[in-house]
Every structure is written in C-alpha cells, then in structure tokens.
Amino acid sequence: MDVNHINAFITGLVEVSGMLGIGSLTRTGLSKREKLKTENEVNIIIGLVGDIKGNVVLSMQEKTAMNIASKMMGGMPVNEFDLMPKSALCELTNMVSGRSVSELEKIGVLTNITPPTLVHGHNLISLISQVETLVVKFAAEEGEIEFNIATEN
Amino acid sequence: MEISTAIAPFVRASNNVFRDMLDLNIHKGQAEAEGDSFISQGFTVMVGLTGGWEGWFFLDMSQETAIKMANLMVGEDYHSIEEEEVLLAGAEIANIISGNAITDINNINSGLNIRLTPPSIFAGNNMSMFNVKLNACSVLLQSDIGNVKLNVVMKEAK
C-alpha cells in the first residue's frame, strides 16, 4: 500500500463531496482496520483492477446515508432508505472512485473500476479483499463516513 | 450476450469446484432474473469483474452453510461465522469458481479480456445487495450442506 494511492482516494472523496455540497467534510482519523464487525448499515463497494488491485468501501450509518442522499437531491426529505437514496449513494461512490482513478492516473497508476454495489444490512461482518484494510474516517454535518481502502500493488 | 447465457460458465465451474474440492454433488436449478437487487441468505462473497464486462459475481449462502463449507474445506471444526477462517474459506471458493469461469469465458470470447478483483466477504442479517442500473441473474444450487446461490450482474463495457 502506497501513501500516494491513499491520498488519491482521499482527494477524490473530499473533492466530490465538496462539489455535491456535503457540509464541511473533515478527516478525523486514519487507522488499520482491526475488527471484522461493523456498526455501519450501509456499505458501498467498488472493485479496482489494474496496477493496483483491491476494493474500496464507503461505509456509514443509515441515518448519515439518508442525510447525504437528501443533500444530493437538493434538500428533498428522505425518510426511508429505499431505491432513491440507494441509487444516490451508489452514484456518489461512483463519482468518488472515478475522481480517485483519474487522480491515480496522474501519478502513472492505471486502474479500472467495477460498478458500485450497495450492501445494506444490520450487524454486518465484513472482510474487504484479504489484505490489510486502511480506514480513513471523516466527519461531516450529515454524520460520520468511513472510507475503507484495501489495495495491493 | 444474454445474462442467462453468461451465468452458465459460473454454474459449470461451481459444479467442478464443489465436486473436486468439497466432494459434494450439486443439483442445479434454472437461471432466474433477479432485477437490480437481491436479498442475501446471510453470507455473501463478492468478486468484481472489469474489462469487456463490468459487474459482479456473488456467491451467496446461509451462515450455517458457510460454516459447514469451511469445515469441509479446512478439516477443522468451526462454530461461528465470526472466525476469520470461515470468511476466508468462502472467499477462496468464490475466487476459484470465478477464476475458472472467467478463464473459460475469456478463452471462448477472444478480446473480451475480463479481469477479477480480489473477493470481499459480507455476512449479516437481512442483508440486501443493490446494483444500480444492472440486472442480476441467479442460479440456485442444492447440495448436502445447503443451498448455494450464484448471482451474476454484468453489463458489456462500452
């Protein structure tokens, strides 16, 4: 895992969320993922293939996800986590990874991405790729967002 | 390519892998359309596809089946889904199945050049998988350790 790759993903998330008007996103932590359990009900996963291989997962609680979806749709109230917010969150992840991939391309790392899949459920256990997973935590007005990055060169 | 045709190599590969690695015979069902989302039985391994196709391959089963499968594969006696080895065993099976299937597909369709991401594993209750703007196709495989569902979602890349 290369720090430049991680930076590309962080830049991607920060820029896209700024563009969509997600309020004051700040980085609050960076750590290795130690446990398999996650309290976050909403996980959106995208696969990477190419110079780096792996998966990135954007993970958050249902409430945060609904707040973000509402922000993305111009403040429309979102009371239920149905198709509309799911689709919005997938689109967000798609934009973040698209932006990150072009950021990676600038430093000569070529990768392809898969379409996003949203995994929604309670008391989830997850293992992302089979390598060490780096968790970058963010706090925004809408709630906390965790960005899990598991890549191998 | 029709998605119901696309799933055939995965069914074939699963049949071989279950027979050779786990010594299990499977009874396969019909290919069914799933729409853009499906409900997991409790344990899902997902492998991404990029290249000529973009999408995902899901191997879905109940948590009991996942534990039984790990026990058969490793020869240990696991009891909980929270043991990392159970997750890894599931990931390995999905990796082998998708690897074999994709090798077949790439051999038949030259130039397609599909590549796979490393597998990721999710387990939990009432878990649903949502793929925006993609249609899933599934085949249910019945075996002595329980039902295993193969799910393929893909579109042809532009």
Q: What local confidence, expressed as pLDDT, does residue B2 receive? A: 76
pLDDT at B110 over 90: no
pTM here is 0.93
A135 compared with A23, residue with greater pLDDT: A135
Q: What local confidence, expressed as pLDDT, does residue A39 receive? A: 85
What's chain A's average pLDDT?
Answer: 91
What average pLDDT does the segment B95-115 reach? 93
**3-state secondary structure at position B140:** strand
Cα three-residue angle A20-B155-B141, rounded to 5 degrees? 115
Q: How many Å lie between the alpha carbon of B30 and the closest alpha carbon of chain A?
A: 24
Of the pLDDT bands very low, low, confident and very high (cuts 50, 70, 90), residue B45 is very high
Q: What local confidence, expressed as pLDDT, does residue B5 receive? A: 83
Q: What local confidence, expressed as pLDDT, does residue A130 receive? A: 83
Of the pLDDT bands very low, low, confident and very high (cuts 50, 70, 90), residue B6 is confident
The CA distance from B114 to B117, in Å, is 10
A121 with B122: CB under 8 angstroms?
yes
The share of chain B scoring above pLDDT 70, in percent, equals 99
Q: What local confidence, expressed as pLDDT, does residue B113 receive? A: 92
Q: What is the DSSP string of A22-86?
A: -TT-EEEEEEE---SEE--SEEEEEEEEESSEEEEEEEE-HHHHHHHHHHHTTT----S-SHHHH
User: Which of A124-128, B32-36, B85-89, B140-144 is the least confident region?
Assistant: B32-36
Task: Convert the pLDDT of each residue in A88-123 to its tens digit.
Answer: 999 999 999 999 999 999 999 999 999 999 999 999
The CA distance from A16 to A114, in Å, is 18
End-to-end Cα spacing for chain B: 13
A31 with A147: CB under 8 angstroms?
no
The CA distance from A37 to A49, in Å, is 26
Q: How many Å lie between the alpha carbon of B137 and the closest alpha carbon of chain A?
A: 15
The CA distance from A87 to A78, in Å, is 13
Q: What local confidence, expressed as pLDDT, does residue A87 receive? A: 93
Query: Which of B:55-84 have CB within 8 Å of A?
Result: 55-56, 81-82, 84
The CA distance from B85 to B108, in Å, is 35
pLDDT at A23 over 80: no
Asked if B50 lies within 8 A of A114 by C-beta distance, the reply is yes
pLDDT at A153 over 80: no
In sequence order, the 6+-apart residues with CB closer than 8 A to the CB of B104 are B9, B12, B13
Asked if B50 lies within 8 A of A37 by C-beta distance, the reply is no
Is residue B51 within 8 angstroms of chain A, CB to CB? Answer: yes
Phi, psi of B27 (to 5 degrees): -110, 120
Category of B75 on φ-ψ map: left (φ > 0), alpha (ψ -120 to 50) or beta: left
Q: Residues of A with CB below 8 A from B116's CB? A: 49
* Sign of the CA dihedral running A4, A37, A113, A131: positive
pLDDT at A35 over 90: no
Q: What local confidence, expressed as pLDDT, does residue A152 receive? A: 85
What's chain B's average pLDDT?
Answer: 92
Asked if B50 lies within 8 A of A47 by C-beta distance, the reply is yes
